[in-house]
Structure 1
Amino acid sequence: MFSEELRAHAQPIMTAIHEHPFVRGIATGYVPREALIFYVEQDFQYLSEFIKIYATAITKLTDRTEIKFFANSIDFILNSEIHPHHVFCDVAGVQYEMLQHATPAPKAYLYESHMYRAADTGLLLNILAAFQACPWTYHEIASKQVQEKANNQANPFKGWIDFYAKTDDDSQTTLSDQIFDWIDRLASEATSSQREEAMQFFLKSCELEWQFWEQAFYQQDWKFKSVID
């Protein structure tokens, strides 16, 4: 299956994400306050663009069940994915509303541009492959940390871990499982060159997920931010 190829090729990146100091800090219960703030500022902006990519995907669809899937995904980002942000804000001791006006940092800007480039190809397979890295890597992170029993009552990030570890309707099916199934259906009808293009969109997104943790942990912003802002 094409989805198995995607995961196999991305495994070195996924391993590096698991080992990243920000991600390990979630498991151990300590991440520097500055890193948490930078992460929420950037992720708020990124998810706002992510919603627009979902909306772009809807224009490629004719099946109402598939349209509903993306509409529900938009609703999830707007109304549910604020919860893990609040977890980080509570730990950092800062109001969420104060972190919603940042300028996308270089790597976040690159990630957003990458997503739009996938959408501009007009191929749903590329759009799905490009944004699949986000739900897949986050569920992998949380699932591993649950196995490590990091989501204990003493961990201030327990709510974050539990949020991303959960499955849909208490079943064994996750959002990323559903998207991988969809990708497999599209890939079965795609040419070899189209599958390779989708593979590259997925792998670059996985790399950019690692970069997102990296920029937040070290607060990597524009060098000439005073000019760019």
Structure 2
Amino acid sequence: MQEAPAATRPFTVPPFAQACLEAASDAWGASFQHPFVRALAEGTLDAERFRFYQMQDARYLEAFADACSLIATRCVRPDDKLWFIDAARLALVVERELHAGYGKKLGYTLEDVARIELTPNNRAYQDHMIATAVRGTLVEAVAAITPCPWLYVELGQHLARELGTIPDTHPYADWLRMYSNPEFNTYMDNLLERLERFAREADDAARARAKEAFRTSVRYEWMFWQQAWEQQRWPV
């Protein structure tokens, strides 16, 4: 699957966000066809693979929250500061509820999550976000964090359309329902509006680097499915 047509998106995609998406279209579409995603949608995904994914994802979201917090310190407008602070909180609080719920089903605790070793792919993705938030311009920093929520919202809504009603017996019903929740559309409108505004305030070189930061994060999103699918370990 390639990127969804704009007409199917229930949130606005401004010009710069669209340009970022076009720059990363192949990698974006690849996530929709990854065997982890397809098995998750079908309900056939091995529970151990999902457990591995959930635990690594919980640690990834800590870094996502760190990146949002760093971005908040760089914003001039108070409402932008507050929005990114809230985005950091959302990543930790709301997502933690999902991880804790699956922890009860799959046999892990938040303490277990804190003790895991990050996979190479997970660590690299985190380092990319944090480094861009610290060393990049504001538009680059926001571009680097945007693919995570955008891809998950679009993927969740795509799967909801594909599957129709999600039965309570589906082993990953909570995950599918969370990311297809229309409340995320407002989140995306707010995030993409800020990305567009920061792009307008930047120069051509910064906008080019921002597109590359976005594309890199989209590639890491695919790699995140892959690290869970193969339950990646350090080779040495």
Give the TM-score, by structure 1 length: 0.89
> Partner of 1:227 in structure 2?
none
Structure 1 residue corresponding to 2:174, chosen from 147, 159, 165: 159
Whether 1:61 aligns to 2:75 is yes
CA RMSD of aligned residues (A): 1.9
Paired position in structure 2 for 1:175: 187
1:177-192 equivalences in 2 (<5 Å): 177-192=189-204
Q: Is the 2:66–2:130 contact (alpha carbons within 8 Å) kept by the matching residues of 1? A: no
The match for 2:155 is 141
Change in CA separation of 1:9 and 1:103 when aligned onto 2, cut-off 3 Å:
same
**Letter of the structure 2 residue corresponding to residue 197 of structure 1:** R
Structure 2 stretches of 5 or more lacking a match?
1-14
| Aligned counterpart, 1:71 | 85
When residues 20 and 194 of structure 1 are mapped into structure 2, their CA distance, relative to the original with a 3 A threshold, is: same
Structure 2 length normalisation: TM-score? Answer: 0.86
Gaps of 5+ in 1: 225-229
Task: Look up the match of 1:108.
Answer: 122
**Distance in 2 between residues matched to 1:128 and 1:11, nearest whole Å:** 18
- The answer to whether the 8 A contact 1:151-1:161 is kept is no
* Equivalent position of 1:124 in the other structure: 138
Q: Tell me whether 1:195 sits opposite 2:207 in the alignment.
A: yes
| Code of the aligned partner of 1:158 | A
Say which of 38, 44, 54 aligns to 1:24: 38
Tell which deviates more after alignment, 198-207 or 96-105.
96-105
Matching residue within 46, 50, 74 for 2:60: 46
Residue 69 of structure 1: CA displacement? 0.6
Give the SS at the match of 2:59.
Answer: helix
**Mapped partners of 1:9, 1:119: distance in 2:** 20
When residues 97 and 29 of structure 1 are mapped into structure 2, their CA distance, relative to the original with a 3 A threshold, is farther
Give the Cα separation in 2 of the matches to 1:112 and 1:35: 21
Amino acid at match of 2:16: F
Aligned to 1:3, which of 13, 17, 34?
17
Q: Deviations over 1:94-147 (max 9, x none)?
A: 445433311211111111111122112242111110000100110111011110
Counterpart in the other structure of 1:85: 99
- Equivalent position of 1:15 in the other structure: 29
Is residue 138–residue 164 contact of structure 1 (8 Å, CA) maintained in 2?
yes
Say which is worse superposed, 25-34 or 210-219, in terms of deviation.
25-34
Number of aligned residue pairs: give it: 221
Between stretches 197-206 and 154-163, larger displacement belongs to 154-163
Whichever residue aligns with residue 40 of structure 1, its letter is Q
Q: Distance in 2 between matches of 1:18 and 1:150?
A: 17
Query: Which amino acid in the other structure matches residue 214 of structure 1?
Result: Q
- The equivalent residue for 1:211 is 223
Q: Letter of the aligned partner of 1:223 in structure 2?
A: P
